[in-house]
Structure 1
Amino acid sequence: MPAVTLRLAQGTPCWVSLMTDDLAGARAFYGELLDWSYTPGPTQLGAYVRAESGGAPVAGLGVAAVPGFPVQWTTYFAVDSADRTTQLVRECGGTVAVGPLQAERAGRLAIAADVSGAVFGLWQGEEHLGHEAGPEPGGPAWAELLTPDEEGAAVFYGAVLGRPVAPVGAGSALLVGGRPVAGIRRGAELRGHPPRWRVHFAVQDVELTARRAVALGGRVLVEPHDSGRGPVARLADPQGGHFSVLRAGLR
């Protein structure tokens, strides 16, 4: 995969990051499951490494800065100005939990929550512009928001990111250059869980990956099944971080 040399267009999902209470365990699990290797990353928020697939950066893994913080994956969206976009988050009824702050020479980031409480990140890339693989195996393949208020979320993200949100299939999608880059849908399956952005990684074989996840100490939350984007399964790592796997080449 060619290296990313230009900042991704505003509103494009550009990075995913896991905050966990067991960085060594998470590194071992995802390294075996998705064939990741690791290099050091910025440490403003604590210990942090970048995961690579085939030599291309695909994700970040770090230690949660606040004890007891839920183990979870966060989707980051590319922005032209993290400072200006965080102001829009506040003006549109969201909250900003972290930043904007400088991540060494890599870029500028913020972590926020939308009007329903779903956490997401903003990334103004400088030396590090985002993931460089996907949807090839091991790379991020899709981002999808599950929310009890699809209409409110569509208005919020459209205003904050300055991109249109249009009906697509059973939900909505954020569009960049007329192309769907992230999904938004009403999450009936939340069942008392807070709204969240779901991270999907591409794999060659969804059923095999689900079995390997269990053998490595993880869990299958939703068995492999056919979806509008092809075979998919919902999994959890040994520390409780939820993620999905999607057959490579499908969005």
Structure 2
Amino acid sequence: MPTRNTPWPDGTPCWVDYGAADPAAAKEFYGRLFGWDWTADSPEYGGYVNALKGGAQAAGLGPLTGPDDPPAWTTYFATGDAAATCDRIREAGGTVVVEPMAVGPMGTMAIALDPQGNGFGLWQAGTHTGAEVVNEHGAQVWNEAAVDDVPAARAFYGAVFGFSWDEIPDMGGYATFSTDGRPLGGLGPVGPGAPKGWSTCFAVTSADDTVAAVEAAGGKVTHPAEDTEFGRFAVVTDPWGASFSVMQLPPEG
């Protein structure tokens, strides 16, 4: 189990959480799908809970905070100084929607929009360091953004997080981003019928079985499972319309 219990390097997609229209039903859906257990409800934090995989933190879930907000997954980037990162967001043309806010001893969060209106979060770790398990069934394995203006998005995120970009040949302008030469995620143009903005990809042991389970529970398939050089990949929506993707990783070795 790939685990980590120390803060992630700045700029790393370090956490994902889900804003739920029906938290109890969402916990049931995702718990069954990914084999998650849940921490106890926390009224002092608005009912926010952590999903656990083998006892390690994998993701978060809480009720929607706005009456018009759609259910959705949010990607959070690690930062050692949320306030300074918010200053860079504004300087680069983005908008800070939720100013840096302490979440007890656990850390400091903020929510922002890039200049194209795509939402993302910041997490400055305290006792909660973000994802403790990655790259295995039920844990995040990749985060990427689909945007209308790729050069502008690269400029924005490069200014905010110091990303460098490595464009992948024959993928229509899709590029990975890194801060130390290790790919952290990706960014590319919006595909036909695909959702815009940041998306979360979860590792699974079987893409086909996971897709079937999503459909059986009332979700939909928006990109059927297909083999890629990175693994077998599919895009789905949950029963409430929130999009996410799954990747069946190739065997090691």
The 1:42–1:95 alpha-carbon spacing in structure 2 relative to 1, beyond 3 Å, is farther
Higher relative contact order, structure no. (Cα contacts within 8 Å, ≥ 6 residues apart): 1
**Corresponding residue of 1:180:** 183
Q: Any conservation in 1 of the 2:10–2:79 contact (CA below 8 Å)? A: yes
SS in 1 for 2:24: helix
- Unpaired runs of 5+ in structure 2? none
Cα shift readout 1:167-205 (whole Å, capped 9, x = no counterpart): 2342111103201111000113256x5x31111000000
Q: Is the 8 A contact 1:19 1:62 kept in 2?
A: yes
Q: Which moved more, 1:107-116 or 1:159-168?
A: 159-168
In structure 2, the CA distance between the partners of 1:232 and 1:238, relative to structure 1 (3 Å rule), is same
Q: 1 CA distance for matches of 2:90 and 2:82?
A: 13
Partner residue of 1:215? 216
RMSD: 1.8
Give the deviation of 1:63 after TM superposition: 0.6
Kindly provide the amino acid, as one letter, of the partner of residue 74 in structure 1: T
Identical positions, percent: 38
Q: Is the Cα contact below 8 Å between 1:46 and 1:64 reproduced in 2?
A: no
Listed as ranges, the matches of 1:30-109 within 5 Å are: 30-40=30-40, 46-109=46-109
Report the Cα distance in structure 2 between the residues aligned to 1:102 and 1:190, rounded to whole angstroms: 37
Which ranges of structure 1 fall in alignment gaps of 5 or more residues? none
Q: Report Cα offsets for 1:88-132 as digits up to 9, x if no partner.
A: 111100111112101111100101111111111100001011111
Equivalent residue number for residue 28 of structure 2: 28
Mapped contact 2:16–2:73 kept (Cα < 8 A): yes
Distance 1:42 1:101 in 2: 17
Distance 1:27 1:158 in 2: 35
What secondary structure, in the 3-state scheme, does the structure 2 residue paired with 1:179 have?
A: coil
Q: Is the 8 A contact 2:13 2:78 kept in 1?
A: yes
Determine if contact 1:202/1:249 at 8 Å carries over to the other structure. Answer: no
Check whether the contact 1:143–1:183 (CA below 8 A) recurs between aligned residues.
yes
Q: Is the 8 A contact 2:232 2:249 kept in 1?
A: no
> What letter is aligned with 2:142?
W
SS of the counterpart of 2:33? Answer: helix
TM-score (norm 1): 0.93
Distance 2:203 2:14 in 1: 15
| Count of paired positions | 248
